[in-house]
Amino acid sequence: MAASNPLVRDRDADFLLYEVHDALRLCALPHFADHDRETFDLFLGSAARLAREQLFANYRDMDEVGSTMVDGRVRVPPAMAELWRQLCDLGLVNAGRPYGVEGGQLPSTIATVAYLYLMAGNAAAVGFALLTSGSAHLIEAFGDDALRKAFMARMYSGEWTGTMALTEPGAGSALGDLTTRAESIEGREGVYRISGSKIFISGGDNDFAENIVHLTLARRVGDPAGTRGISLFVVPRMRPTGGDLGSDTLEFNDVHTSQLIHKIGWRGLPSLGLSYGEAGDCQGWLLGEPGKGLKYMFQMMNEARILVGANATATASAAYHESLAYARERTQGRRLDRRGDEPVPLVEHPDVRRMLLRQKAIVEGSMSLLIEAGVASDLAEHGESPEERERARLILDILTPITKTFAAERGFEANNLALQIFGGYGYSSEYLPELWLREQRLNTIHEGTTGIQSLDLLGRKVVAGGGKALVVLAEAIGRDIAGARSSGVDEELAAAIEAELARAIEVTRALAGRGVSGDPIGMLGHSVDFLNLFSNLLVGWQWLRSAAAATRGLGSKPSAEEAEFYAGKIAAARYWIRTDLADNRRLAELCLSAEDSYINVADGSF
């Protein structure tokens, strides 16, 4: 069964890209002028093939083998070396980067869908590529020619890999507390002696690439405490000999692997403790201006958050299709409404159907949100006018924490339902759902926990610039409601989104008002409820868009199979809006009442 798992269905990807989100309009932008449906589909087809034939084929095995540490170096699963070559051959590391850095100059929108296939096939393997891509992108954006030549080029080509080294054992998510030191080296401008420890560094070592480049946050001696004093450094494991960026040979740069974390998933992508400068000889190159490290890193963090959302969606998608195939094949029990002699397939039981449609609503709703974010990202960078770019940027800002968290939290729920459909077999490692569940579990934690995302959304994104982002978002949703109505969508669905949009705006205003009047707890005490309310709405919006496209599709005399496909989209939209969006009334009450049971209880009362 696993062999025939599509991981992500091509028809769903096509529908969302071309019937819902009109991805081809991106080709009208000068930056993407070389692209068309054919180049998009070629890339997506290659990604799907690599995912299904190579990545997924090695998936279970890479989890079982895992990563190990031998004599201070990490060994990743042996299959990884060949997979890395294939991922690089596909052009994955710099697919979205411009021609000027040898990239494919593909829209983010298309790259994101390609990632979905690949991540659904093997998240750990793809993780190496995306970390390398993101860290090289930082050097591209903020490095001078010498740094780009010495590091970025070799990373984009896949010769070297990259990491982001933020977290420290004592500080966790509170990056302002980090203590890694950077001491200037006399006579070497822009080069610093680095010392300190990092933890949870994904891909922090491997045995398939010649070198690993750690984009490392550290504080220069004398710089202020807190986030203002943080700078970003390029710290390779092996440095050009003598620290001369022009050197063709490498020497050890005093970066050690101190610890291999025993993760419960993503076991092919090691998560490590790193120790810098144990011998006092670790050199780091300052990237961009001092004191802007966190700002720069957030370029990568925001990309990374969307990618976590993509990973979560992909992981839920693979499990959904596995459980759907199982529910169609496995016979058990009798129908509630027609007790016959023969057991029926699981898919005929209403509660199994509930678990399937719920997974579908989460997975495909999340895919749609990701593509919405992809389009916003492309328009934010390459839109025709400054106004278009600004509007897209504001929408992307709001979508980022939601895309990440919705996919991670509800994706976990979806993965859990997939396992449940397998019954007792689901509890065994002979079937894949438990592995996907383990992998999914990381996504509400890394790149900022759900709690942190909720503070980002409510404390920053929806109130930024006097709530301008929310106005722009509401306009976009309003246009889609009108569009859905003119497509002839069921009025129940359009009206629900309209009413809930109004409610979300009202809640946001009330909470922002508390913040302004000096009551941060009254504003932020229910930030996760607020995030859920917003997620329900935005996924409802995406389902309204899908229902509209499906309604148009049904009007075009489709084949019987296509008609069922479109009907499924409308059923999932209806399900989501009646079931989950219907929860927003309660969530709004909790936010508005500032329900205080956990806020004001004494610590000793837990």
Catalytic site residues? Answer: 447
**Residue 597 binds to its own copies (criterion: CB under 8 A):** yes
**Residue 428 binds to its own copies (criterion: CB under 8 A):** yes
Which is nearer to its own copies, 190 or 226 (by Cβ)? 226
For residues 74 and 205, the answer to whether their CB atoms sit within 8 Å is yes
DSSP string, 476-509: HHHHHHHHHHHTT--HHHHHHHHHHHHHHHHHHH
We find the least distance from the C-beta atom of residue 87 to its own copies, in angstroms, to be: 24
Using CB under 8 A as the binding rule, the residues of this chain from 172 to 191 that contact its own copies are 172-174, 177
For residues 404 and 309, the answer to whether their CB atoms sit within 8 Å is yes
Query: Which position among 108, 167, 403, 405 is part of the footprint of its own copies (CB under 8 A)?
Result: 167
**Residue 606 binds to its own copies (criterion: CB under 8 A):** yes
Using CB under 8 A as the binding rule, the residues of this chain from 363 to 422 that contact its own copies are 412, 416, 419-420
For residues 61 and 124, the answer to whether their CB atoms sit within 8 Å is no
Q: Which residues contact 89 (CB under 8 A, 6 or more apart)?
A: none
| Total residues interacting with its own copies, rule: CB under 8 A | 92
Using CB under 8 A as the binding rule, the residues of this chain from 544 to 573 that contact its own copies are 561, 564-565, 567-568, 571-572
Residue 260 bridge partners (DSSP): 272
Binding segment toward its own copies, per CB under 8 A, in 151-159, 179-187, 203-211, 594-602: 594-602
**Residue 432 binds to its own copies (criterion: CB under 8 A):** no
**Residue 426 binds to its own copies (criterion: CB under 8 A):** yes
CA contacts within 13 A on the Cβ side of 77: 23
Query: Which among 406, 415, 405 is positioned nearest to 440, based on CA atoms?
Result: 415
Binding segment toward its own copies, per CB under 8 A, in 285-293, 307-315, 499-507, 580-588: 580-588
Which is nearer to its own copies, 479 or 585 (by Cβ)? 585
We find the least distance from the C-beta atom of residue 203 to its own copies, in angstroms, to be: 15
How far apart (Å, rounded) are the C-alpha atoms in residues 308 and 318?
15
**Residue 574 binds to its own copies (criterion: CB under 8 A):** yes
Binding segment toward its own copies, per CB under 8 A, in 22-30, 46-54, 326-334, 369-377: 326-334
What phi, psi does 200 have (nearest 5°)? 60, 40
Query: Which position among 525, 536, 538, 543 is part of the footprint of its own copies (CB under 8 A)?
Result: 525
For residues 63 and 268, the answer to whether their CB atoms sit within 8 Å is yes
**Residue 604 binds to its own copies (criterion: CB under 8 A):** yes
Q: At what angle do helices 527-554 and 350-382 cross, to 10 degrees?
A: 90
Both tokens of 192, joined, read 């610093």
Binding segment toward its own copies, per CB under 8 A, in 154-162, 355-363, 393-401, 498-506: 355-363
Q: Three-class SS of residue 383?
A: coil
**Residue 224 binds to its own copies (criterion: CB under 8 A):** no
**Residue 585 binds to its own copies (criterion: CB under 8 A):** yes
Both tokens of 374, joined, read 């992809």
For residue 159, the 8-state DSSP code is S
| Amino acid in the structure at residue 603 | D
Q: What string marks each residue from 22 to 41 as x (binds its own copies by CB under 8 A) or -?
A: --------------------
**Residue 324 binds to its own copies (criterion: CB under 8 A):** yes
Using CB under 8 A as the binding rule, the residues of this chain from 236 to 255 that contact its own copies are none
Query: Which position among 6, 77, 143, 265 is part of the footprint of its own copies (CB under 8 A)?
Result: 265
Binding segment toward its own copies, per CB under 8 A, in 111-119, 230-238, 393-401, 439-447: 439-447
What number of other Cβ atoms are within 10 A of residue 559's Cβ? 8
**Residue 516 binds to its own copies (criterion: CB under 8 A):** no
How far apart (Å, rounded) are the C-alpha atoms in residues 142 and 443?
28
What phi, psi does 351 have (nearest 5°)? -70, -30
**Residue 605 binds to its own copies (criterion: CB under 8 A):** yes
We find the least distance from the C-beta atom of residue 77 to its own copies, in angstroms, to be: 18
How far apart (Å, rounded) are the C-alpha atoms in residues 541 and 535?
10
Query: Which among 547, 537, 542, 538 is positioned nearest to 574, based on CA atoms?
Result: 547
**Residue 200 binds to its own copies (criterion: CB under 8 A):** yes
What phi, psi does 445 have (nearest 5°)? -110, -55
Which is nearer to its own copies, 250 or 592 (by Cβ)? 592
Query: Which among 448, 449, 457 is positioned nearest to 527, based on CA atoms?
Result: 457
**Residue 343 binds to its own copies (criterion: CB under 8 A):** yes
Which is nearer to its own copies, 334 or 468 (by Cβ)? 334
Using CB under 8 A as the binding rule, the residues of this chain from 484 to 503 that contact its own copies are none
How far apart (Å, rounded) are the C-alpha atoms in residues 509 and 502?
11
Q: Three-class SS of residue 260?
A: strand
We find the least distance from the C-beta atom of residue 31 to its own copies, in angstroms, to be: 37
**Residue 264 binds to its own copies (criterion: CB under 8 A):** yes
We find the least distance from the C-beta atom of residue 401 to its own copies, in angstroms, to be: 14
Both tokens of 19, joined, read 């019937």
Q: What string marks each residue from 447 to 466 as x (binds its own copies by CB under 8 A) or -?
A: --xxx--xx-----------
For residue 92, the 8-state DSSP code is -
Query: Which position among 246, 479, 521, 555 is part of the footprint of its own copies (CB under 8 A)?
Result: 521
How far apart (Å, rounded) are the C-alpha atoms in residues 281 and 247?
18
Q: What string marks each residue from 92 to 131 as x (binds its own copies by CB under 8 A) or -?
A: ----------------------------------------
Binding segment toward its own copies, per CB under 8 A, in 166-174, 206-214, 282-290, 373-381: 166-174
How far apart (Å, rounded) are the C-alpha atoms in residues 165 and 201?
6
Which is nearer to its own copies, 375 or 572 (by Cβ)? 572
Query: Which position among 434, 456, 480, 490 is part of the footprint of its own copies (CB under 8 A)?
Result: 434
For residues 366 and 313, the answer to whether their CB atoms sit within 8 Å is yes
**Residue 360 binds to its own copies (criterion: CB under 8 A):** yes
**Residue 444 binds to its own copies (criterion: CB under 8 A):** yes
What are the helix (H) ranges across 101-223?
Answer: 108-121, 123-142, 145-147, 153-156
**Residue 601 binds to its own copies (criterion: CB under 8 A):** yes
We find the least distance from the C-beta atom of residue 421 to its own copies, in angstroms, to be: 9
Query: Which among 236, 138, 229 is positioned nearest to 179, based on CA atoms?
Result: 229
- Supply angle C-alpha 110, 113, 118, rounded to 5: 125
Query: Which position among 114, 131, 442, 481 is part of the footprint of its own copies (CB under 8 A)?
Result: 442
**Residue 263 binds to its own copies (criterion: CB under 8 A):** yes
Which is nearer to its own copies, 98 or 423 (by Cβ)? 423
For residues 55 and 129, the answer to whether their CB atoms sit within 8 Å is no
